[in-house]
Structure 1
Amino acid sequence: MTAGVTAAIPPFVIAAVLGAALLHATWNALVKGRARQGGPPDDPLPPMVLVVAGGALASALLLPFTAAPAPASWPFIAASSVAQVAYHLLLIETYAHGDMSHAYPLMRGSAPLLVALVNGVLTGERLNGAQWIAICLICGGVLAMLLGTRTPHAPQARRSQRRATAFALATACVIALYTMIDGAGVRRSGAPAAYTMWIFLLTGSAVTAWAARGRRRELLRLAGARPLLLPLGGVSTLGSYGIALWAMTLAPVAAIAALRETSILFATAIAALFLRERVGAWRLVAAGLIACGAVAMRLA
């Protein structure tokens, strides 16, 4: 285990990570949007791009006032930026095909499991019995989410649901990848805030440039119609991940990755209360299992 990182997570770090979880669920809800009455869900690409652009803009404004990351962390910044571009593109596809209450727990619940399994091989951190129990809870929640999802009768709806599940699981793999990259990189940086901001500046610039090629007018219209989306979404996503990376300098990566996924509970509540999605008993059980697994990972 890296020097200076303890197995026990201090209470103030737990509180900060829980706040980051709420921020993460909030900006995902902003991207997903609310389905129109009797119509399909909103296209998630324009709000996603505005949120990412907001994070890049906030980073550009704040970077001159922060210490630069250590040279040893720059390869990790580059690798993480590439992974996070892939993450945002996959997330757009995930929300284009499925409900947030279905896709979000799959994405966020599977990722800490992958981190716990692979990160130990790469870093030598070993899991104890209690941590394996936590992993089983997370796996059980993911399985319950898959088993509890009703199969639509219409063929097109079935295809859309299968695509949402596939994209959500692919997104989870990318989340695990950049989490492990950043868990190692931020500890080498000596400057967690600047490390995070450089990633968001590079990622946001790439995603915005890609989207602006064919949908510039649509992005401008949405920015005018929802003027708080860019600043609120940008600050939420930057703050959420920045807090998580800072916490990884003080506690094991796998534990923080799991604890952060208490955002699943926030996301399920937001999906039901504000996005008007139907959250059945199976989804509630699945979300609860995944959240319990995340908490158990912290207590292990």
Structure 2
Amino acid sequence: MTLFVFLAVLSAAAMHAIWNALVKVHLDRFLSITLMTLGMGAAALVVLPFVEMPKAEVWPFILASVFFHMGYRTFLIGAYKAGDFAQTYPLARGTAPLLSALGGIVLVGEVPAPLAILGIVLLSIGTLVMSFRGGAHLERLNLRAVGFALGTSIFIASYTLSDGSGARLAATATSYAAWLFVCDA
């Protein structure tokens, strides 16, 4: 992995954590997510003149991904309303790679290398442990928060698989992402 790729991944992770923290602490979570989604759509709108229009076979993946992103945001808001951020965020994010890998194997026929499987399992175990530690001050397990967090994870895995498949069919990944963000907004 090059230094540029490492820094890009690290930056993306930091931005994602900040985005989720802003959603958690904002008084109107629906409004804050809506404004962030509209902002991403506006930024992507500027890119559209420079990328190809997706082919017909790409549109079902974009539309499915828009649906999955709406489900993700709805369940994320529910998780943050129902439970503690330190518990729901790691649970939602920690199970998504495992579900994505399983979905990739079953639905796409993509089997990760053994080292990748080990990494996914270790990541999932680590984030699950974080979610239990994050809920240590709670008197009992909040099943509503856990349900919303796991639902969020299912939607994350779903849009991950949809986006991966759609981006492979598109002229470029940038074209797919730009059109997805505009449609999502």
Q: TM (normalized to structure 1)?
A: 0.55
Superposition pairs of residues 13-28 of structure 1, within 5 angstroms: 13-28=5-20
Q: Find the counterpart in structure 1 of residue 121 from structure 2.
A: 136
Superposed CA offset, 1:126-182 (max 9, x none): 2343333223313322442454323635xxxx68x3322211111000100110011
Cα 1:129–1:192 shift into 2, 3 Å: closer
Q: Are the equivalent residues in 2 in contact too, given 1:71–1:189 (CA < 8 A)?
A: no
Task: Give the 3-state SS of the residue equivalent to 1:105 in structure 2.
Answer: helix
Superposition pairs of residues 252-291 of structure 1, within 5 angstroms: none
CA distance in 1, matches of 2:80, 2:29: 6
Cα 1:101–1:203 shift into 2, 3 Å: same
Superposed CA offset, 1:102-149 (max 9, x none): 221111111111111220233333234333322331332244245432
Structure of greater Rg: 1
Q: Which amino acid aligns with 2:90?
A: P
Q: Find the counterpart in structure 1 of residue 70 from structure 2.
A: 85
Q: Find the counterpart in structure 1 of residue 112 from structure 2.
A: 127
Q: Find the counterpart in structure 2 of residue 168 from structure 1.
A: 149
Give 5+ residue unaligned stretches, structure 1.
1-8, 35-41, 205-300
Q: TM (normalized to structure 2)?
A: 0.86
Aligned length: 184
Q: Find the counterpart in structure 2 of residue 178 from structure 1.
A: 159
Superposed CA offset, 1:259-294 (max 9, x none): xxxxxxxxxxxxxxxxxxxxxxxxxxxxxxxxxxxx
Q: Which amino acid aligns with 1:190?
A: A
Q: Which amino acid aligns with 2:22?
A: L
CA distance in 1, matches of 2:170, 2:114: 32
Superposition pairs of residues 1-300 of structure 1, within 5 angstroms: 11-33=3-25, 42-148=27-133, 149-150=135-136, 152-153=138-139, 161-204=142-185
Q: How much is the aligned-residue C-alpha RMSD, in angstroms? A: 2.3
